[in-house]
Amino acid sequence: MVFPDRFKNHILPEKVHILNVSFMVPEMRREFGGCAGNIAYNLNLLGGAALPMGTVGKDFDPYAYWLDKNRINRRHVKVIDEAYTAQAFITTDLDDNQITAFHPGAMSFAHHNHIVDAKGVILGMVSPDGRDGMLQHAAQFVEAGIPFIFDPGQGMPMFNGDELLAFIDKATWITVNDYEWQLLQERTGLAPHQVAERVKALIITRGGNGSVIYTSAKRYDIHAVITATVEDPTGCGDAYRAGLLFGLMRDMDWETTGRIASLMGAIKIAHPGTQNHTFGPQEFEDRFKESFGYTY
């Protein structure tokens, strides 16, 4: 929702302890999102075969139709009849300040899903979800012998240092943005090279400053891809993660994997919402060659 004014004109600092405000929002749009949906959407654009796993609510039918329309497999999307699907209500003012209300809803039942039920999986990712689900799914990936990326994202505050260290020791790869990395570093006391010694790679994204991939042997600096327009950064991290999954699935080198991920983020940022961009595999390969001077 867009508020065609500035919050500061309506929120009085001296009255914030008795806050009671109402914002008229004539502009509103509804977008499909969530980490599993966003990553799956982007991975399938690249030619991957995504298998999102999550818990949703009784209001999921429109999203289910969207997934089916885009040929995203939802056999591991479980409906919780007594809950609503997780959703965020975001109001933005003319200064791009945001007031967000997030309702976790059915996401709190994520632990009702089990990794063992997903057959033929070659690698996975634990992204922000219900706390119990994230803990259990990491352990279940290990038990099943499936390598996985740990992507704590906005779920980071739910875990203390010991729990984050346990995630690191279970994971095959770690990916965070620069802010999340600061939290991870503060809570675990580990430097980038120390994390990289425990996993195959630590990937830190830095928005317009690109990303850095640390392995036990080397650091790779991945430049951001410049775009003509910047519409909406929401979902860029998920697009980047889809690129990581695609590169890992194809056993590509880290420079190429990081560049695919970077280009995915650039394509997404040029479009509003998280699942409104589209392209074919050949179109992406052509743009990759144009951006980096070689084909993968």
CATH number for the domain spanning 120: value is 3.40.1190.20
pLDDT at 13: 84
pLDDT at 5: 95
Residue 111 in tokens = 């632990």
Average confidence (pLDDT) over 124-146:
97
pLDDT at 125: 98
Residue 116 lies in a domain: yes
What percent of the chain shows pLDDT beyond 90? 88
pLDDT at 175: 98
Residue 12: pLDDT band (50, 70, 90) is confident
Residue 12 lies in a domain: no
Residue 7 lies in a domain: no
Mean pLDDT of the chain: 95
Q: Which residue has the tokens 């675990």?
A: 188
Range of the domain at 165: 24-288
pLDDT at 173: 98
Average confidence (pLDDT) over 73-94:
95
Residue 64: pLDDT band (50, 70, 90) is very high
Residue 2 lies in a domain: no
Residue 218 lies in a domain: yes
Structural contact between residues 75 and 116, judged by C-beta atoms closer than 8 angstroms:
no
Structural contact between residues 39 and 50, judged by C-beta atoms closer than 8 angstroms:
yes
Dump pLDDT digits (tens) for 155-184.
999 999 999 999 999 999 999 999 999 999
Nearest to 196 by CA among 210, 184, 179, 208: 184
Residue 296 lies in a domain: no
Burial degree of 20 (CB within 10 A; 0-12, 13-18, 19+):
exposed
Structural contact between residues 124 and 130, judged by C-beta atoms closer than 8 angstroms:
no
Residue 155 lies in a domain: yes
Average confidence (pLDDT) over 19-29:
91
β-strands 173-177, 148-150 pairing: parallel
Residue 10 lies in a domain: no
Dump pLDDT digits (tens) for 206-260.
999 999 999 999 999 999 999 988 888 889 999 999 999 999 999 999 999 999 9
HEC per residue, the chain:
CECCCCHHHCCCHHHHHHCCCCCCCCECCCCCCCHHHHHHHHHHHCCCCCCCCEEECCCCHHHHHHHHHCCCCCCCEEECCCCCCCEEEEEECCCCCEEEEEECHHHHHHHHCCHHHCCCCCCEEECCCCHHHHHHHHHHHHHHCCCEEECCHHHHHHCCHHHHHHHHHHCCEEEEEHHHHHHHHHHHCCCHHHHHHHCCEEEEECHHHCEEEECCCCEEEECCCCCCCCCCCCCHHHHHHHHHHHHHHCCCCHHHHHHHHHHHHHHHHCCCCCCCCCCCHHHHHHHHHHHHCCCC
pLDDT at 228: 87
pLDDT above 90 (res 18)? no
Lowest mean pLDDT among 35-44, 51-60, 64-73, 228-237: 228-237
Q: What is the number of structural domains in the chain?
A: 1
pLDDT at 259: 98
